[in-house]
Amino acid sequence: MIAEAALLESKTLRDSVLQRTEVLDKVKALSLLPDGMHVTTAMVAAYFEVADTVINNLLSRHRQELESNGLRVLRGSELLEFKELNLSSYPGSYPQPRSSLAIWSRRAVLNVAMLLRDSDVARQVRTYLLDMEYLARTHPVDTQASGTSRTLDDRIDQRITHILGKTVVPMFNALIETSGEHRRELIALREDVQRIEQRLCDHDTRITDLELTRGPRPYTGIMASIDAMNWREFEHHVAVLLRRDGCTDVIVHGGPGDRGVDVTARAADGRSVVAQCKSFAPYRPVWSGELQKFLGASHVQHAADVALFVATTSFTPDARAIAESYGVTLVDRAHLEKWSAGVPLSVLQ
């Protein structure tokens, strides 16, 4: 398996995995400008949770590599046009006058993740990226087993995506440039088309990921369904599992004012139960600091008899040590899959 250090040092290795831009959203949602294709330097910095100056310094050191992967610096009339179409909804964020603006493609943002050393988010992206490459090498797709319908669906999806990206979106761009009265409506329609194009790409990525990781698993499809849930749906899923295992008075509290827990309940034998639910990307583990926060909420504020920390991912060794020391039951990805498939949670029995 490729080592992370080698990825940081070798441009050849970076180039070999730059097509996997979908990993960015697996780790953390990447907000895009209205054109659906670019972000600004400030947005790149926000994604990686670093200062703007860090990204600007990286740009100075690796400008040629980043430009080859979609970084562009706009000036003059091109900058004015881009700002009018994409930055009008960000009042006050881009002071006037501005002589230039760097815009980054998703590929360039992934390039940053493979160059940025001092960012936890960048490290998570690299880990996810390398693991996906390892799976692709060790679990090759059996094209014959996937069937004719899958191949046909692929061709249809790829054809639609090609038409949307190469024909429909440019057509809207041309109409927007020449239109005055219906400019806003055309921009909104273009955004809808680009969202459909992105969903088709995401759908193909999800199918590919499932095929790469398929194998003799007893609970096929369960975690795929859970991964598709948003945080609120995941909390309600945990509440359903608690009720199924005999708990009563099950209440979902997630969101502002939840006092540090997402679900409270009472076990069949009368013990009080609190649960914290974390819907994270599979390659983003739960850290010890998150366990420490939950300890205060579960033991001090709620005085719970049973404290559950349920996550769609794994826990770091430090987090597991804290949980063991203070009696917190950890439900990691593997246990969550079994629990969701009908295996009762032993601590509730």
Tell me, letter by letter, the H, E, C secondary structure of the chain.
CCCHHHHHHCHHHHHHHCCCCCHHHHHCCCCCCCCCCEEEHHHHHHHHCCCHHHHHHHHHHCHHHHHHCCCEEEEHHHHHHHHHHHCCCCCCCCCCCCCEEEEEEHHHHHHHHCCCCCCHHHHHHHHHHHHHHHHHHHCCCCCCCCHHHHHHHHHHHHHHHHHHHHHHHHHHHHHHHHCCCCHHHHHHHHHHHHHHHHHHHHHHHHHHHHHHCCCCCCCCCHHHHHHCCCHHHHHHHHHHHHHHCCCEEEEECCCCCCCCCCEEEECCCCCEEEEEEECCCCCCCECHHHHHHHHHHHHHHCCCCEEEEEECCCECHHHHHHHHHHCEEEECHHHHHHHHCCCCCHHHC
User: Of the ranges 87-96, 190-199, 227-236, which one carries the lowest mean pLDDT score?
Assistant: 87-96
- Write the single-letter amino acid at 177: E
pLDDT in tens, 306-338: 999 999 888 888 899 999 999 999 999 889 988
Residue recorded with tokens 């009368």:
270
Q: Does the structure show a pLDDT above 60 at 211?
A: no
- Ranges of each domain in the chain: 4-138, 147-212, 228-348
pLDDT of residue 250: 93
- Give residue 88's pLDDT: 58
pLDDT grade, residue 36 (50/70/90)? confident
> Is the model's pLDDT at 346 over the cut of 70?
yes
Q: Which CATH code for domain 228-348?
A: 3.40.1350.10
Pairwise pLDDT comparison (303 vs 191), residue with the higher score: 303
Neighbours of 118 (CB within 10 A): 9
pLDDT per residue as tens digits for the range 75-119: 888 888 777 776 654 444 444 455 788 999 999 999 999 999 888
Mean pLDDT to the nearest integer, 15-26: 85
